Structure 1
Amino acid sequence: MVRNLLENPMTTKSPHASAPSRRTVVAAASAVFAGLIALTGCGAGSPSSSGTTAAEDDKAGANLEKVSIGLIPITDVAPVYLGVQEGYFEEEGLELDVQLAQGGAAIVPAVMTGDYQFGYSNVVSLLVAQDKGLPITVVSNGSTSTNEPGSDTTEVAAMPDSGIGNAADLVGKTVAVNALNNFADITIRNSIEEAGGDPSGVKFVEMPYPNMPAAIERGDVDAAWTTEPFRTQILQAGGKIVASPMTDMAENFDSAFYFTSKQTLEQNPELVERFRRALEKSFDFAMENEDKVRTIIQDYAKVTPELAESIVMSKWYKEVNMDALTKLGTAAKKYDVLKKDPDYNALIAK
C-alpha cells in the first residue's frame, strides 16, 4: 500500500533539511543546479478507493520498506505512478514516498544528502553533477525520444509568422529554454550546426516551461524549447515545430535517468536492485498500455482529458543508450558545459 502516493497529498520536501555534516555537499550541489527548471502545478494523487480499512492498510504497509523518490510532475514519470497502481513496487517490498519538486534543481542535492534515496533528472544535469565531483550513479533509464522529427516529446516550437522554418533559422533569434547551459541549448546548438548554421548567433533566455506558450504568442521570444504538455499547448494555439534536437542528436535518445547516490548503492545494493526491477516492470506496462498513461497523467500532472489525448508520449526503454549518451557528453564538453570528458563507466551502475 503506497499511502503517501495514492492516498495522501504529495508535498515537496525541502532538499535542505540535511544533517550538519552534509551542508557542504548541499551547498555545492545547489550552486550547480541553481539554473534548472522551475515547474508549476504540483498536485496530489487522488484518494485511493481500495475498500480496505485504515487498520488493514497500516498492517499491510508495515511489511514494506519505505523508499523516498524525488520526481517532477511531468508526463515522462508516468511509469512510476503506474507501477505503484499495478503493485510492482509492492511486489518488491517497497512503499514509495513520492516527493514532488517544483523543478529538478532540488532533486540532485536532496539525493546527495539522503533526503531522497532516488531521483529523476535530465541527463545533462547528471553529467554536470559528475563533472563537479558529486558521487551520483544512474540506476535506470528514464525516458527516450520517439525518433519522429516533428512528433517528439521535447522540441523547438515557434509561431507561423516567426520566419523560422528549421534549426538554421534560429540564428539571430531569441529562444526560450528551461535552463541555460544545460540540456536544451546543447542539443539546439548541435541541431543548428548540423543544419549549416552558426549556433553562436542564437540568444537563449531562461524561462519556466509553463510560461513558454504565452511568451511565444505575445512575441516575447521567437521560439521555445518545450516539452509535454506545454508543447501541445503551443501547437493548439497555432504554433508549429521547427526543430527536433533530440532526434537530431541520436536515435533512441535518452533524455532523463533515475539515479541514486553512490553511498546508497554501496550500502544497500539489494534495495537498488529491487527498485530497478519494479521500475522496469513499470516501463513495460507503460509501453503496452498507453491509454492508462494518458489517464494517470490527468491526476498527478493535472492535465485535462482533452490535452491528455493529444500529447506525444515518450518511449520507456530499460537499457541506457550508451551511443546517444556519449554523443551528448561530447557535445556538452564542446559547448563548455562540461570541463572534462564524462566517466560513463562510473556514472552508470552495473
Structure 2
Amino acid sequence: MCHGEIAVKKVLAALVVSAALTGTAFAQAKIQVGCTATSDCASAMVAVDEGIFRRHGLVVEMTPIGINSNIPAAILSNSIQIGGPTSTVFLQAVDGGLDLVAIAGATVMSPVSNGNITAFVRNGITIKEPKDFVGKKVGAPGLNAFLHVLFVKWLVEKGVDPKSVNFVEVTFPTMADIIKSGGVDAVLTAEPFVTRMTNAGLGSVGARYAVELARTDPIIFYAASREWADKNAAAIKKFRDAIAESAVIVNNDREKASNSISKFTKQPIELVKATPPNRSEPVLKPEQLSWWIEVMSSQKMLQSKLDTSKLVLK
C-alpha cells in the first residue's frame, strides 16, 4: 500500500470517528430547563436528581430564573431550551408575538396548593378585608404572572379596583428582606416562604385569596420555542415520558420530592417538608387554558383572540 493510500485511509478513519463523536454529542446535547424558586417545577427537579432524564436518554440541567416573566425571553434567547412559565406569562408572551408552545404539564391548582398561596402582610399593616389593600404597595413575583393575575381577579370579585393597589416586582428569595425593611406592605407569595416569614416574625397572612377562588387550572407548565420543538420532536417525547414518571414521585414520595425542591430552591429542607408540593399533572390539554384566557381578557392583558388548539404541542 502506498503512502497516499495510507494517508487517505487515516483521513477517512478520522472523519468516521469525528462523525461518531459529533453524533454522540448531538444526541447528548444538554437541555437547560429554567424555573423560578418554587415547587412548581418539582417534576423536572426530581427527574434530574433521580436520574430519570438520563434513563430516557436526555442530559438535563436546571437553571434558576429570578422572575417568572423573564422565562419567555430566556427561551427565545436560547439561554434555556425549556422553561416553566406560569399560564399567564406564557399566554401574554404568545399574545405579544412570541412563538412559544406548551410541551408538557407541570402543576395545577388544587385545594391543597390553593391553601399555600397568600398575600403576606408586614408588621404594622392591618388587613381585615379586601378593600384594605387600597393604597398599599404589594410585591408580586412577576407582574402579570400567576399570583398577580389571581390576586387581581380576587380583588375584582371583591369589588376592589386593582388600579388602587401599587404593584411592584419582588423575587421569591428577596421577599423576606423586603418585607422586613418595609420596602413593601405585602407580598403575593406561597409556601414555604409563608412559613419562613411567619416563623421569623416578619408579619402575618392577610388573605388566602386562591382558596376563595377555588380553581383547578394549570399553574405552570413546560414550554419551548416552536422552532426548537419542531426540531427536537424525539427529545420532547423523551422529556414528556420522563416528566410523567417523575410526577408520580412528586405526588407520592414526599421525601424525594422535598429533597429535590430544597436543593433547587435553596430553601431549608425542614420548611420544604412541612409544605406539600403543588400537584404535578404531566398531561396538559388545550382546553385547560380557556379560563386563563377569559380572566386575562377581562383584565385587558390580551390583545388578540388566542386559539388554544395551537398553544399545546400535540
TM-score bracket relative to the smaller structure: 0.7 to 0.9
Say whether residues 1:120 and 2:84 are aligned partners: yes
1:191 correspondence with 2:123: no
Matched letter for residue 133 of structure 1: G
Residues 182 and 337 in structure 1, CA contact (< 8 A), matched pair in contact too:
no
Q: Aligned residue for 2:259?
A: 295
Preserved contact between residue 150 and residue 241 of structure 1 (Cα < 8 Å) = no
So what's the TM-score if we normalise by structure 2?
A: 0.80
How far 1:349 sits from its partner (Å)?
1.2
Distance 1:115 1:210 in 2: 22
In structure 2, do the counterparts of structure 1 residues 111 and 201 end up closer, same or farther at CA, with 3 Å as the change threshold? Answer: closer
Say whether residues 1:167 and 2:127 are aligned partners. Answer: no
Alignment match, 2:121: 158
Q: Distance in 1 between matches of 2:210 and 2:293?
A: 13
Tell me if structure 1 keeps the 8 A contact 2:254–2:273.
Answer: no
Asked whether 1:306 is paired with 2:270, we answer yes
**What residue in structure 2 maps to residue 144 of structure 1?**
108
Q: For 1:63 and 1:215, how far apart are their aligned partners in 2?
A: 44
**Partners of 2:118 and 2:166 in 1: CA distance:** 17
Contact 1:177 1:226 in 2 (8 A): yes
1:90 offset after TM fit, Å? 2.2
Q: Where does 1:1-350 land on structure 2 (aligned, <5 Å)?
A: 65-72=28-35, 73-104=37-68, 106-148=70-112, 151-152=115-116, 154-159=117-122, 161-238=124-201, 239-320=203-284, 325-350=289-314
After superposition, the CA RMSD in angstroms is 2.8
How far the C-alpha of 1:285 sits from its partner, in A, is 1.2
Following superposition, the deviation at residue 147 of structure 1 comes to 1.7
Cα distance, 1:178 vs. partner?
Answer: 2.2
What is the alpha-carbon distance in structure 2 between the residues aligned to residue 195 and residue 161 of structure 1?
Answer: 24
- Tell me: CA distance 1:309–1:99, structure 2 relative to 1, closer, same or farther (3 Å): closer
Check the 8 A contact 2:249/2:256 in 1, yes or no: no
Deviations 1:72-95 (A, max 9, x none): 343322222221333322232112
What TM-score, normalized by structure 1, do the two folds share?
0.73
Structure 2: state its 5+ residue gaps. 1-23
1:162 match: secondary structure? coil
For residues 214-261 of structure 1, the C-alpha deviation after alignment (integer angstroms, 9 at most, x for no partner) is 333444322210134322222223433333344444522322110112
Which amino acid letter does the alignment assign opposite residue 263 of structure 1? E
- Contact 1:70/1:107, CA 8 A, preserved across alignment: no
Question: SS where residue 69 of structure 1 aligns?
Answer: strand
Percent identical across equivalent pairs? Answer: 24
Residues 28-81 of structure 1, C-alpha deviations (whole Å, 9 max, x = no match): xxxxxxxxxxxxxxxxxxxxxxxxxxxxxxxxx979633412323433222222
The 2-side partners of 1:188 and 1:155 are apart by 9
Cα distance in 2 for residues equivalent to 1:114 and 1:199: 35
- Aligned in 2, Cα 1:248/1:263: closer, same or farther, shift over 3 Å? farther
**Greater Cα shift, 74-83 or 130-139:** 74-83
| Higher fraction of helix | 2
Q: Distance in 2 between matches of 1:327 and 1:108?
A: 21
Q: CA deviation at 1:316?
A: 0.5
Between the two proteins, the alignment pairs up a number of residues equal to 290
Distance in 2 (CA, whole Å) between partners of 1:85 and 1:269 is 24
Q: 1:103 to 1:189 in 2, by over 3 A?
A: closer
**Cα distance, 1:148–1:197 mapped onto 2, change above 3 Å:** farther
Q: Which residue of 1 aligns with 2:7?
A: none
Deviation at 1:137, TM superposition (A): 0.4
3-state SS of 2:280 partner:
coil
Report the structure number with the largest CA radius of gyration.
Answer: 2
**Cα distance change, pair 164–102 in 1 and its aligned pair in 2 (3 A):** closer
Alignment check: 8 A CA contact 1:70 1:116 kept: yes
Distance (Å, rounded) in 1 between the aligned partners of 2:198 and 2:256? 24
